[in-house]
Structure 1
Amino acid sequence: MRVAILGVGLIGGSVGLAARQRLGAFVTGHDPDPEAMRVGLDVGALDAAGTLAEAVADADVAVVGAPVGRIPEVVEAVLRHAGPDTIVTDVGSAKGAIVAAVDDRRFVGGHPLAGAETAGVRHAREDLFAGAPWYLTPRSGSSGVVFERLTRFLAGLGARPQAIEAATHDRLMASISHVPHVIANVLVAQAAVVLADDGTLPATGPSFRDATRVAGANTTMWTDIYLANRDALVDRLDDVVHRLQTVRADLVAGDAAAIAGWNDAARADREALLAVGLAGGTAPSCELRVAVPNRPGVVADVALALGHAGINIHDMTLSPSDDERTGEVALWVDADGASRAAELVAGLGLRVEGAP
């Protein structure tokens, strides 16, 4: 297997390390910064480095790790140089604009939920994606073969691929990642005003440290992310403002019952979110076999239906019929979600076998 990395940073470098060590891949790389390529070679993330065209030549999979605002143009450049069977994906944390800009059967947008406080390929890790969700955002007409091959590649890196609509992804990321960064910046600015006014500031407790850990994160990268996902981010910030105004009104009114209910609801919501996060990928797997017609987008439809329900596909294989008019998709999902997965797939008008 040959893998091309376009953008040799923490994520791209970690893809390279994992692909080399876990899949035995030959990894080529390109980055506008020659130093990034040199370090990538030094740390073993790359076997070779060169121009974009050289890196992409003969690649089975090309992973674009450019800044999110530049991803569409880099993906288009990769597609121009890539072969007809090359799978192209990206790792950007905002997907709507990228998916809308790129219309090519070889491309499926992606976003691994993995990272570190340190940046750069020097900090790349082979195990960065181990057990981590990796969102995929196929279009309705995405090639089933491409989606299957990409899913198997990402699973080979140790990740847990999950299909999701681009708009849903961006709204989710705004809620769980981008808004927290905005609020962290606001909190440290507020505390800094107190320091400026009073000249002293007591030692901060763990709540403040934890809530502001991401404040002032990489300016270039995060300015790009905020703007790339601005529509969803503004929508979620409006919701935050509304919720803060509600709490403010309860405080002004001295409504202890409302404040207590608000706090209890937050605890319950957090417990529910933690339960979802801790449950993923822990159950034994179950195989489902789905009979599908040979039409564009059918595999993407299945993957999106399961992804929307939070059901991870651990592995996937496609077996076309002799006449290539139909085929069978074998899916491996968590055993405790297999019955629900079968119901969802059957709801698409497809025949399912293997459900408990």
Structure 2
Amino acid sequence: MSKKKVLLARRLPDAVLARADDLFDLTLRDKTAPMTPSEMRAGLAIYDAIMPTLGDRFSADIFNEFGRPRCKILANFGVGYNHIDIEAARAHAVTVTNTPGAVTDATADIAMTLILMSARRAAEGERLVRSGAWEGWHPTQMLGLHVSGKTVGIVGMGRIGQAIARRCHFGFGMEVLFVNRSQKTVDFPATQVADLAELAARCDVLVAATPGGAETHHLIGADVFNAMKPTAHFVNISRGDVVDEGALVSALQSGRIAGAGLDVYELEPEVPAALRALENVVLLPHLGTAAEEVRIDMGMMVLDNLQAFFNGEAPPNKL
């Protein structure tokens, strides 16, 4: 029996490539940029499956070129899938899967990195040392926020939100407040509050951990930043378009909030010059899952989804 033709949109760790090459007739698209519309349309026509990832925007317009494309499954590399129009895929008989679970702890770790870097002005301090302008320690040098015992607000209490909350509560003795689209019960001390404005007003650190998509587009904007304490910090590890970047820049420029830590951006990889010019924001290049063992686990999960699908079984992570 001939192997299924599979297109891999970006290079993955060698262990994943070796297994994929063993299982399938694999084509590696050896580029780091997102797929172009023409590449996506050609992929749907030529391959039995595509392994896309962040930035590969399989919109309704892409699917509308076809009745029933040859490609029957988009096995997404990543937990977030707002770059794929799920309803359009289903309408064209294309299954979509993702990789939940594998990314949880690594992403939560980056959230903690950003919380601490922003609160303790670590990026600003590192730039000061590198510049050669540091004049030495003194008692009022670069005073920041001591996070232990403070209040963290989590926007979205899914797997990643809970992992962040656990780290904050058990690691730093922080009070945990959260908002969630539905009522949520967790097995550690945490209080669900009525709305985002209340959460913003009560917390010292606000963390966005909600899924991307139309429902959460610009969920966090000027109204949220205006409700926050002037000593509070904002962290985003969800999706860039969850935040109105213009409103965030204004809040940081005016001192309306004390600082921010970002791992994702609204028009990634573009980062506004006004944001890059600010000292009170930490900017990371989407490092959420950037640990080799995590990326291997994610890749293996993609292959598990593909293997199950082609064996006539339900993929473990079908959306």
Same fold (TM over 0.5): no
Q: Which has the higher contact order (CA 8 A, sep 6+)?
A: 2
TM-score calculated relative to the size of structure 1: 0.34
TM-score calculated relative to the size of structure 2: 0.37
